[in-house]
Amino acid sequence: MIMVLQSTAFAILMVAGLAVSAQSARAADIAHPTVVELFQSQGCSSCPPANANVMAIADDPTVLTLSWQVTYWDNLGWKDTFDNPAFTKRQYEYADAFHRQQVFTPEVVVNGRSDIVGSRRDELDALVHQDDRGTGGPSVTVAGDRVTVSGPGSAPGTIVLLVRYNPNILQVPIRRGENGGQTLPHRNVVRQLVSLGDWKGQTQTYALPAAGEPGLKAAILVQAGRGGPIIAAARV
């Protein structure tokens, strides 16, 4: 079942001028991957096909897939083992940017610009290949526990985010709810989201906090406001 919720507490007032054109960041390659964000829940029976679609492209080095486990299914038979209110908030920020009053699972957002129902594999493949961020934009470099963002492409409210995720395939037995009795695979499950600060267009360096648990990978997202386009991305 696809769940749709009204946006209330998480409605975000977007700063005017956050929209950045498709030419404001680099084209997808290994150093500048396309960001594919899946919003899902272990309690949603429509989510496993979408999860399978996203996992199928996770080995593409030009794509960065991230699984955000949301909380609003938790009272419907099964509490997601990886969910976090901050991840639900991120989805509401996208809903606001897309001028919607609702969120739904399974949603896939590509480069912070476009979204689809994630169970539609043909639409996912088409969106990943057509949503090219262009040839300009900032560069992201990492040295030790610091990350530097430099170059053109800043818009009012641009932020730098650190995302830590588990790259392993995790098998989770679901005991109740719509997926009760199944064991669901998970990959690139987000475990930590940290705002490193604003970016105003000049060269800026940010300290990377320690990971909350061992074995996590990390990525940096430069985003034109909360819920705005992702204008640069890099694996750490």
For the chain, where are the alpha helices, taking DSSP H only?
A: 47-56, 85-97, 121-130
Examine residue 10 and state whether it is found in any structural domain, yes or no.
no
Determine the pLDDT at residue 130.
Answer: 85
Determine the pLDDT at residue 16.
Answer: 30
> Strand 107-110 and strand 114-117: pairing?
antiparallel
Determine the pLDDT at residue 137.
Answer: 73
Examine residue 4 and state whether it is found in any structural domain, yes or no.
no
Determine the pLDDT at residue 131.
Answer: 65
pLDDT in tens, 216-234: 999 999 999 999 999 999 9
Give every CB contact of residue 129 below 8 A, 6+ residues apart in sequence. Answer: none
Q: How far apart are the first and last CA of the chain?
A: 36
217: closest CA among 169, 165, 168, 142? 165
Determine the pLDDT at residue 39.
Answer: 98
Examine residue 200 and state whether it is found in any structural domain, yes or no.
yes
Determine the pLDDT at residue 156.
Answer: 79
Q: How many domains would you assign to the chain? A: 1
Examine residue 196 and state whether it is found in any structural domain, yes or no.
yes
CATH number for the domain harbouring residue 91? 3.40.30.10
* Whole-model pTM over 0.85: yes
DSSP secondary structure string for all residues of 19-59:
---TTSSPPPSSSSPEEEEEEE-TT-TTHHHHHHHHHHTTT
Determine the pLDDT at residue 132.
Answer: 64
Examine residue 11 and state whether it is found in any structural domain, yes or no.
no
d(CA 110, CA 215) in angstroms, rounded, equals 26
Instruction: Give the chain's residues under pLDDT 50.
Output: 6-26
pLDDT in tens, 35-75: 999 999 999 999 999 999 999 999 999 999 999 999 999 99
d(CA 104, CA 155) in angstroms, rounded, equals 28
Determine the pLDDT at residue 153.
Answer: 66
Determine the pLDDT at residue 28.
Answer: 77
Examine residue 207 and state whether it is found in any structural domain, yes or no.
yes
Examine residue 134 and state whether it is found in any structural domain, yes or no.
yes
Determine the pLDDT at residue 3.
Answer: 62
Give every CB contact of residue 162 below 8 A, 6+ residues apart in sequence. Answer: 147, 192, 193, 194, 195, 196, 208, 209, 218, 219, 220, 236
d(CA 80, CA 73) in angstroms, rounded, equals 8
Q: Which domain holds residue 74?
A: 17-235
CB 95 within 8 A of CB 103: yes
Examine residue 8 and state whether it is found in any structural domain, yes or no.
no
Determine the pLDDT at residue 181.
Answer: 98
